[in-house]
């Protein structure tokens, strides 16, 4: 793909990924076919900060996990009172990293 487009994409979307993954994403995007550019643009990535806010208020019911696609864990959290209230607190610290992970997983589906 065109280097300028890749730079632009990374500039706009770097907050959705872990910073140490950016070089990998850059390389993969450079290798990617031009025809996938539209798909790349329309990819729905979740903003870690938004998910953190959801986690603070609705994490007890597992809503944060449902949104990022961890449905099984969401159900587990919902049925166990947010993991006896402990898991929901732990998730306030883990959820941003996990959101970036799922974003990368969505992006890598496009690469291969």
Partner 1 sequence: MKKDRLYFFTMLATIAGYAWLAWNEKYSNMQENTAGTSLCLFRHVTGIPCPSCGTTHALLALSHLHIADAFYFNPIGFILAFAMLILPVWIIRDAITKQDSFYVFYRRLELLLSKRWVAIPFFVLIACNWIWNIYKYTS
Residues found near partner 1 in the complex (CB under 8 A): 60-61, 69-73, 75-76, 78-86, 88-89
Q: Cβ closer to partner 1: 6 or 48?
A: 48
| Cβ atoms 57, 17 nearer than 8 A | no
Q: Cβ closer to partner 1: 8 or 86?
A: 86
Q: Cβ closer to partner 1: 14 or 109?
A: 109
Distant-in-sequence, close-in-space partners of 86: CB < 8 Å, separation ≥ 6:
none
Q: Cβ closer to partner 1: 3 or 81?
A: 81
Angle at 102 between CA 100 and CA 103, to 5 degrees: 60
Give the C-alpha separation, 110 to 45, whole Å.
13
The minimum distance between CB 76 and partner 1, in angstroms, equals 7
The minimum distance between CB 31 and partner 1, in angstroms, equals 26
The minimum distance between CB 72 and partner 1, in angstroms, equals 5
Tokens of 38: 């539209």
DSSP string, 50-75: HHHHHHHHHGGGTHHHHHHT-HHHHH
The minimum distance between CB 79 and partner 1, in angstroms, equals 5
């Amino acid at each position: 793909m065109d280097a300028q487009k890749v730079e632009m994409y990374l500039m706009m979307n770097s907050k959705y990924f872990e910073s140490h993954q950016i070089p990998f994403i850059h390389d993969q995007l450079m290798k990617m076919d031009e025809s996938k550019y539209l798909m790349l643009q329309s990819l729905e990535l979740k903003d870690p900060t938004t998910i953190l806010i959801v986690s603070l208020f609705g994490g007890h019911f597992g809503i944060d996990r449902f949104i990022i696609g961890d449905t099984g864990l969401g159900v587990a959290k919902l049925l166990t009172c947010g993991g006896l209230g402990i898991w929901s607190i732990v998730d306030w610290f883990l959820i941003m990293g996990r959101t970036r992970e799922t974003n990368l997983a969505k992006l890598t589906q496009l690469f291969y």
